[in-house]
Chains A and B, each alone.
Chain A
Amino acid sequence: MTTTVPRPPATASLRRRFLRLAAAVTTPLLPDDYLDLVAPLRSGADLRGRILAVRPETRDAATVVVQPGRDWRGHVPGQYVRLGVDVDGVRQWRAYSVTSALGGRRDPFAITVKAIPDGVVSNHLVRRVRPGTIVQLDQATGDFVLPTPVPTRVLFVTAGSGITPVMGMLRSGALAGADVTLVHSAPTPADVIFGAELRDRAAAGALRLVERHTDHDGVLTTADLADLVPDHLDRQTWACGPVGLLDALEAHWAATGHAERLHTERFRPTVISPGEGGTVTFGRAGVTVTADGATPLLDAGETAGVLMPSGCRMGICFGCVLPLRQGAVRDLRNGALTTAVPGDGVLIQTCVSAAAGPCDIDH
C-alpha cells in the first residue's frame, strides 16, 4: 500500500523558499532580527506583549494590562502566563494568573501582581514598570480551570494574591447560576485585592463572600472553614494561596476522602533556600553527586564522570556555560547568588559556580 504525502500548497512552499532566500541575504542574522526592531508583536515573532496600562489595586498590588503579540492563543480563566521582564537589565521570568475575563486572541489580557518583600519582579511590575514596555510571554497554560459543564456548587478558598486566578473565573461569567462561595483571607479589608468588585458581586447575589482578615481573625484554618462553610466537602473546591494553607487543605480533603474534589494552584512548588553545597543533578547524563560549597560544578561533574564542556577554568572564556534548570549556585569569585526555578534555564559558568543548595543542571 502506498500513501501520498499531501503536497504543501504552492504558496506555502513559495513562502518557505522566500524565507530561505531572505535568511541568505541577512546571514548571520535572521530576517526576524531586523523585523523585531520595528514589529516585535508581529505574527511569527517570539511571543511578546506590550504593557498598555498599570492600575493599582491595593497598596502593594497592581493589575498590568498586556497587549499580546499576534500569535497569542488566548487563555482560559484560571490559567497563568509566564512573563519575561527585564529588571535592572536582567531578564527574569515569573508566572502570574490571568485575571481578565475570557478574551479573544487579539484582545489585551490582564495579570494582577502582589509585591512580595524583596520580590525582584513583583516590585518592579507593581511600582516601576511603565506602559509601552515590551515583555516576553509564553502561551497561557495551567489546569486550574473550571470544567464544562460548570459544577452547580462551587467553593473557592483563597488567600492574598491567591484570589487572582479565581477572579478570572468569576469575571468570565461561566459561573452564572451556580451556587458559589468564596472564602478569602487577607491581612485587612484594605488588603483584599479586588475587594470593592468582590463586595459588589456579592451584593448583587453572584456569590457568597466570606472575608477573613488575619490581623483580626488570625490565619484561616480547616476548622474555621468547616464553621464558615459547613457543606464545603460537598462542593467542588478550587484553592490558591500560601503553601501552608494548601498543604492543610489537601490533608483535610484527603483525610475526609474527598481529595478528588479539591483543586489547588501552587506557583512556587519549590522553595529555594540557598545554603552551602548540595546535591547536583546532571539530568541528561543521569548523574547525581553531592558537592560542597567550595567545589566548582565543573569539577563536581567531571569527578563523577560527566563529560562536561570546559575551557579556561577561571571564569573568562564562557566555554563551560550550562543551563541551571532549578536550584541555587554561588559565584566562587564574589559570592554572588544565582537562583533558578523550573522554566528559567539560567545559563551559568560551571567553572566558577558552586552549589548553594540542590541544583539541577540541564546536561
Chain B
Amino acid sequence: MTVIQRKPVNPIAHLTAEDIEVIGKELDAIRDRVLADRGERDARYIRRVIKTQRSLELSSRAVLLFSLFPPAWVVGTVGLSIAKILENMEIGHNVLHGQWDWMRDPKIHSTTWEWDHVSPADQWKHSHNELHHRYTNVIGKDNDLGYGIMRVDEDQPWRPAHLGQPLWNLINACFFEYGIAAYDLELRGNLKNGRHKSPEFRARARAVGRKIRRQVLKDYVLHPLLSGPSFLTTLAATFTANLIRNLWSHSVIMCGHFPEGVETFEKTSIEGETRGEWYLRQMLGSANISGSRLMHIMTGNLSHQIEHHLFPDLPSNRYGEIAPEVRALFDRYGLKYTTGSLPKQVASAWWKVIRLSLPNRKPRGRADDRPTPALAATGA
C-alpha cells in the first residue's frame, strides 16, 4: 500500500492494473518518438547553449575586472549570475543526466563533464541520478524529500528540531551548492553512525574538499586578484553571483517535488514495481512550473519536472515539446498535472516547509490535505 492510497481521496483509486500498464506503454511510445526524431537540431541546441554560456561567463568576468565602476559591477554581476545559472541548470544538470551522451561527443558527455559546483560530478550523479530519480518521493529512500534535514510531508514524523526548518531552508537556499555537496556525501548520516572514519568516505570527502578549494580559489582569490584595484568589488560580485545562482536553483528545485499536490510513497509500495507503476509514481511525485521559453531554459527545463522525471535522459529541449502530450495523458486518465507559476509554486513549497515545521493538525487523525486556497498549486 502506498502513502497516497491511505489519503482521504486516493488519486489513483480509479485506475486498474491494466490502465497503469497502458499508461506505461503510451509513455514509452512518446519516448520512442522523441528518440527516433532526436538529431542535428538537438545537437545544435546544446552546442549553442554551451557557446552562449561560455561567451557570457567570459565577457562578464572581463567586465568585472573593472568592477570598481558601479555600472560595470552591475552588468558583470548580472551576466555572471545568468552564466552560472545556465551552467548549473540547463547544461550541467542535464549533461550529467546523460541527456547528450547519444551525440558521442567526449566533450559533452556525462562521463567526462565537470560542473561549476562544489559537489564533484560523480558524487552528484550517484545521489541524484541513481537514488533520487529511481526512488522519487519514496519516504525513507529518496533523501531529496527535505534533503534529510526537513520535514516536507505529513507522513514524515515530526520532531522538535523541525521547528527551525524555515530558517534551515533559508540558510540552505543561500549556500545551496554546499548543502548539495554535504547531501551527496550523506554527511549527516555518515557522521551519526560513525562511518565518517571509513577510508571510502574519507576519499570522497577529500574529493569534495579539493573541489571546494578549486572553486573558492577561482571565484574568491584569482578573479579578484586579476581585477587589481577592483579586488574587493569583484569579490563581492562573484559572491553575489553565487548567491543568486544558489537562491535560484534552490527555488526551482523546491518547486519540483515540494508544492502542494505532489504525492509521496511508502517504501514497501515500490517492491516489485512495474515500469507502468514507476512511471505513475514519477507522474504524481513531480510538479511543473509554467512560464516563458526563457524561464524554462533558466530552470534547466526543470520547470518540466514531470516530463524530466518520466524521461530523465531525453534532451531537455524536448520536454516542452512533449508536455502537451503528457498532459493530455494525465487528463485522459483523470490524474492531476501539478503546475503553476514560479511565485505561486515557490510560495506553496515554502508554505509547506513552514506548515510542517509544526506537528500535524489532527482533525480526524490525519493531516488536512486541503491546500490553502490562496496557495493552491493544482494546475491552471
Which residues of A come within 8 Å of B, CB atoms? 21, 24-29, 33-34, 36-37, 86, 88-92, 311-312, 314-319, 321, 333-334, 336, 346-347, 349
Given A86-B43, A89-B38, A318 and B32 contact (CB-CB distance below 8 Å) = no
Given A24-B222, A37-B51, A318-B129, A91 and B103 contact (CB-CB distance below 8 Å) = yes
Q: How far is the CB of A148 from chain B (nearest CB, A)?
A: 37
Q: Are B42 and A25 in contact (CB-based, < 8 A)?
A: no
Q: Are B55 and A37 in contact (CB-based, < 8 A)?
A: yes
Q: Are B218 and A316 in contact (CB-based, < 8 A)?
A: no
Q: How far is the CA of A57 from the CA of B28 in the complex (A)?
A: 45
Across the interface, B115 reaches (CB within 8 A) one of A28, A37, A312, A349, namely A28
Q: Are B110 and A89 in contact (CB-based, < 8 A)?
A: no
Q: Give the total of B residues in contact with A, Cβ under 8 Å.
A: 45
Q: Are B43 and A89 in contact (CB-based, < 8 A)?
A: yes
B19-56: contact bitstring with A at CB < 8 Å (1 yes, 0 no)?
00000000010011001001111111000000100110
Please indicate which of the listed interface residues A36, A86, A316, A319 has the most CB atoms of chain B within 10 Å of its own CB. A316
Residues from chain A with a CB closer than 8 A to the CB of B35 are 334, 336
Across the interface, B101 reaches (CB within 8 A) one of A24, A316, A319, A321, namely A321
Q: How far is the CB of B90 from chain A (nearest CB, A)?
A: 16
Q: Are B129 and A319 in contact (CB-based, < 8 A)?
A: yes
Q: Are A27 and B102 in contact (CB-based, < 8 A)?
A: no
Provide the main secondary structure of the chain B interface. helix
Residues from chain B with a CB closer than 8 A to the CB of A26 are 218
Q: Are B39 and A318 in contact (CB-based, < 8 A)?
A: no
Residues from chain B with a CB closer than 8 A to the CB of A317 are 98, 125, 129-130, 133-134
> In the complex, which residue of chain B has the Cβ closest to the Cβ of A32?
B107
Q: How far is the CA of A315 from the CA of B223 in the complex (A)?
A: 40
Please indicate which of the listed interface residues A21, A34, A36, A311 has the most CB atoms of chain B within 10 Å of its own CB. A311
Q: How far is the CA of A28 from the CA of B95 in the complex (A)?
A: 14
Across the interface, A25 reaches (CB within 8 A) one of B41, B107, B226, namely B226
Residues from chain B with a CB closer than 8 A to the CB of A92 are 104
Q: Are A28 and B54 in contact (CB-based, < 8 A)?
A: no
* Pairs A–B under 8 Å by Cβ, sample size 8: A28-B214, A29-B54, A37-B51, A86-B40, A89-B39, A89-B40, A92-B104, A317-B134
| Segment 308-338 of B: residues with Cβ below 8 Å from A | 312-313
> In the complex, which residue of chain B has the Cβ closest to the Cβ of A38?
B55
| Segment 71-125 of B: residues with Cβ below 8 Å from A | 97-98, 101-105, 107, 109-111, 114-116, 125
